[in-house]
């Protein structure tokens, strides 16, 4: 729980609610951190965090800070949930300079789709997408910002992952086709 | 899990949004094919492209489609011609804010993982970030100063319920690589 309870009344409300509920879930270990310290801890020792719970503005700032850990904004998905329809989106912006050049990394969007599958209760399907993404990363099927070697285009990365979803074992086989621009998945 | 039929609204948006959404949809189609589900994709306008076409960053038609959907996949919105014009009254981002409000989206969830294969791409030292793997839950209503305390408390409760009411476990298994794969590469 990240807040600024020594200064903000809203933060004290958060603590009040968290303290009220926490005892019902003994397996969840709750810790409280002031946001200034949390910003520092996130860089000093990010492994200490499993879940960070925070209010809108702190979350806005800390989640961008945390994105540095992943190495590229192009990898990070997000879900916005309410009581009914949920929305899934990559955390990156519209990057207008890159429009139409085929250099945008589609992985953040693809992982957002995996979060959607999870939201539907489709665990195996979500795992399947993540495995295919892992496979693409492992095999160096990457857009330009992540590789000094020969980069793949947005569409090639997406196609490779889609092939991986259909049959991970066959992925390597299909890679040569994708390189030749013979991808048939539409 | 049996065969599912889901309606997904795709808001490709602006800039690279359409390109990355195309790949997201491609992967969802592959999942549907492999697992026998039926996903119906409904492409709608939001953002600068919607302003250009209709004058409204979130046209009624788009909003209505979202209400009918099981989920929404969004690419990205925003265009320099609005960013560089502070006087513009109608802006792409208004569409997203209105959509969040209309759909009552109160929590934003972001998983952050340090991928071994890409660890050199982070400006942070490898030994500090290796194995980092977290979920950031962020309250999204942003109206905490003005609304009544009881409403605020309900929002806080909803988010916490979302986290510890089982969702956490599900999300963790879903979004993160299982521990055995950490350090694989």
ipTM given for this complex: 0.86
**Inter-chain residue contact B16 with A79, CB threshold 8 Å:** no
Which residues from B are below 8 Å from A158, CB to CB? Answer: 22-24, 26-27
- Residue B134 is inside which H or E element, if any? strand B133-139
Sheet of strand B107-113: strand arrangement: A33-34, A2-3, A51-54, B133-139, B107-113, A77-81, A86-90, B71-76, B5-13, B38-43
Residue A115 has pLDDT above 90, yes or no: yes
* pLDDT single digits (tens) B39-60: 999 999 999 999 999 999 999 9
Please give the structure tokens belonging to residue A8: 């903000």
| Among A183, A46, A179, A160, CA closest to A105 | A160
Residues 6+ apart with CB under 8 A from A42: A49, A62, A65, A66, A69
- Provide the terminal-to-terminal Cα distance of chain B, rounded to the nearest Å: 32
The predicted-structure confidence for A126-137, as pLDDT tens digits, reads as follows 999 999 999 999
A151 close to B (CB below 8 A): no
Residues A159, B26: contact at Cβ < 8 Å? yes
pLDDT of residue B124: 92
Q: Facing residues of A87 across strands?
A: A80, B72
Provide the sign of the torsion angle of the four alpha carbons A144, A147, A150, A151, taken in this order.
negative
Q: Are residues B132 and A47 in contact, defined by beta-carbon separation less than 8 angstroms?
A: yes
- Give tens-digit pLDDT for B111-165: 999 998 889 888 999 999 999 999 899 888 765 445 566 667 777 777 777 776 5
Q: What are the pLDDT digits (tens) for B140-155?
A: 876 544 556 666 777 7
- Cβ of residue A182 closer than 8 Å to a chain B Cβ: no
A89 to chain B, any CB pair closer than 8 A? The answer is yes
Taking the model in full, what pTM does it have? 0.86
Give, as one character, the DSSP assignment of residue A47.
Answer: G
A110 CB neighbours in chain B (<8 A) are 23-24, 27
Task: Give per-residue pLDDT as tens, A52-111.
Answer: 999 888 998 998 899 999 888 899 999 999 878 999 999 999 999 999 999 999 999 999
The verdict on a CB contact (< 8 Å) between B23 and A109 is yes
The closest alpha carbon to A34, from A55, A48, A64, belongs to A55
Q: Considering CB atoms only, which of B66, B115, B163 is closest to A70?
A: B115
Chain B CB contacts of A41 under 8 Å are: none
């Amino acid at each position: 729980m990240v807040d600024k309870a020594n200064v903000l009344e809203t933060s004290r409300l958060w603590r009040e609610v968290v303290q009220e509920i926490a005892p019902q879930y003994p397996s969840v270990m709750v810790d409280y951190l002031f946001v200034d310290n949390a910003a520092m801890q996130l860089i000093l020792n990010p492994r200490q965090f499993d879940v960070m719970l925070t209010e809108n503005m702190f979350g806005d700032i800390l989640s961008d800070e945390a994105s540095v850990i992943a190495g590229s904004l192009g990898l990070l998905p997000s879900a916005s949930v309410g009581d009914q329809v949920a929305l899934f989106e990559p955390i990156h912006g519209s990057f207008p300079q890159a429009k139409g050049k085929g250099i945008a990394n589609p992985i953040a969007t693809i992982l957002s789709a995996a979060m959607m599958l999870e939201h539907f209760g489709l665990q195996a399907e979500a795992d399947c997408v993540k495995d295919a993404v892992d496979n693409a990363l492992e095999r160096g099927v990457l857009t330009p910002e992540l590789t000094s070697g020969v980069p793949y285009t947005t569409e090639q990365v997406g196609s490779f992952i889609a092939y991986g979803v259909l049959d991970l074992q066959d992925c390597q086989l299909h890679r040569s086709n994708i390189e030749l621009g013979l991808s048939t998945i539409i | 899990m049996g065969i599912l039929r889901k309606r997904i609204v795709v808001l490709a948006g602006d800039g690279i949004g359409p390109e990355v959404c195309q790949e997201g949809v491609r992967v969802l189609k592959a999942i549907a094919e492999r697992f026998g589900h039926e996903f119906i994709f409904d492409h709608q306008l939001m953002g600068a492209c919607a302003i250009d076409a209709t004058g409204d960053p979130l046209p009624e038609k788009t909003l209505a489609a979202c209400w009918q959907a099981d989920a929404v996949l969004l690419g990205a919105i925003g265009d320099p011609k609005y960013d560089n014009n502070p006087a513009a009254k109608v802006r792409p981002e208004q569409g997203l804010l209105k959509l969040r409000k209309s759909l009552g989206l109160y929590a934003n969830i972001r998983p952050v993982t340090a991928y071994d294969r890409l660890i050199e791409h982070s400006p942070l030292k490898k030994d500090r970030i290796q194995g980092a793997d977290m979920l950031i839950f962020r309250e999204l209503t942003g109206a905490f100063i003005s609304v009544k305390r009881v409403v605020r408390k309900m929002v806080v409760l909803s988010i916490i319920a979302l986290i510890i009411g089982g969702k956490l476990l599900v999300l963790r298994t879903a979004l993160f690589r299982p521990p055995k794969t950490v350090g694989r590469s």
